[in-house]
Structure 1
Amino acid sequence: MDNEMKTMLPDVQSSHDGRNIPINRVGVRGVKTPLVVAGRDGEQHTVAELAMTVALPADQKGTHMSRFIAMLEEHGEPFSAETMRHLMLDMLDRLNAVDGTIEVRFPYFIRKTAPVSKLQSTMNYEAAWIADATNGVVTVRQIMVTPVTSLCPCSKEISRYGAHNQRSHVTTSLLLGAPMTLEEQAAIAEEAGSCQLWARLKRADEKYVTEYAYDHPKFVEDLVRDMAKALDDDERVQAYRVEAENFESIHNHSAYAWIEHDKRG
């Protein structure tokens, strides 16, 4: 559309709205797009789902939805926590806003080496960045959902044979003062489990995993406390929320716990 045509067409979104009701967030969600992520071992190509929203003043009729997509199309850098900050500032500028939120969720893949056979395989994780701006001040949370094994300490203590275990999801949401790779974030969570997971295991690996988990029993409470201790000791972490969900193997429900802490005071 040339400049002359633009001047001829009314800008309805920018017109006045007489109801005088502000909108907390308005924008687009469910946007699926190819994404390049800056990883520890270089750039990784994945597919993401995004939501991009801003606050709308009480006297403005609507926001300019196409500007969200235009911004995304013109963004050329691999995504990271830092580029999310740049993207947020760009969005606020384009939409003439001071408050906004950008949420990017995507599968992330890490190459792992089996503990005994040393065979390599690719594990999938769920990752996200959530950038939020309030009065122009931007914060970015880096989120990772890490699957681990957890073995029940009570079951081990009271049973003559073995102990029940299950797959668990440890979710870490971090506000960082210095960069942390997604691989590092996953590794911290894996260390908190009874044992980490691999996509490919031989029999010798399976023996190792079974025995290692048996020697490191963890309640769901232990998972979040161990994660909290590790994050308290990490100077890069300014604030965190950690969640653990055990998909119980002897119950038709999950065990769940979370801890939240802001180290900034």
Structure 2
Amino acid sequence: LVSHFSILFFSTCTHSFNGYTQITLIQTPLSVTRAVTKTARMGCIISGEGFIFNSAYIHWYRQSPGEAPKRILYIGSGSVSMDEGFNSKKFTASNDVSASTANLRVDQLTLEDAATYYCATWDTTVYFGSGTKLVVSKAKLDSSKVRLLPPFTEKDGKVTHVCLIEDFYPNVIKVTWDDDKKNVEKNAVLGEIWPPDDNRQSYSMSSWLTVNKNSNKNYRCSYQHEKDTGSVPIESQGIYYIIKTIYIYIYIYIYIYI
């Protein structure tokens, strides 16, 4: 099991299962923020041609900061089995077969419950979902502010667009780029969330997309966050953001070249 973690743990998994075509585990939401004593809920959608949800065993793991993942429980054949050290009064698992979704509920939250939770299933190989981060805090969720900064042209005829997302909490966010027809993430770079710790009330990050200068496609930067989702098309953002662009470009230069 440890070797499977090292190979497969940190991404949404899409693999063959028991000889069938690809299986995908998608966890929702990206994060859950709740105060102490409250209840947190999260889900895991499992799909794939040939995968029989109601006969599968679904496992739930918790990875606390700085620790190895630990299995909480598994559910299959209509029953739940708890692992040692975990309480069935706190952790409740259920399956919605009609929606191919496994659900986990965590009751009476304490600060020790703050962690990232993963769903998993396996036959001869272990497959993990992408994880849901549980934030135990009474801090207010903040909506993101997303802006596209003025582009700059590189020497090779490429143009780089910068998407700046600011003032969001908690520090879990997914940023994507598309051209109205398809995802173009392969041409994008995601910067790190800043500040890099879990003890702040506001975070920011940037992402930049490099494309051909003469491209006539309509690019868009989109994000998903616990508080909200949104997107913004490429367009001029005014002199205020030109000033902010200077700081972002310095960050990009350091990130790429230093």
Specify which structure has the higher proportion of helix.
1
Tell me if both proteins adopt one fold, taking TM over 0.5 as the criterion: no
Q: TM-score, normalised by structure 1?
A: 0.29
Larger Rg: 1
What TM-score do the two structures reach when normalised by structure 2?
0.29
Determine which structure has greater relative contact order: mean sequence separation of CA pairs < 8 Å that are 6+ residues apart, divided by chain length: 2
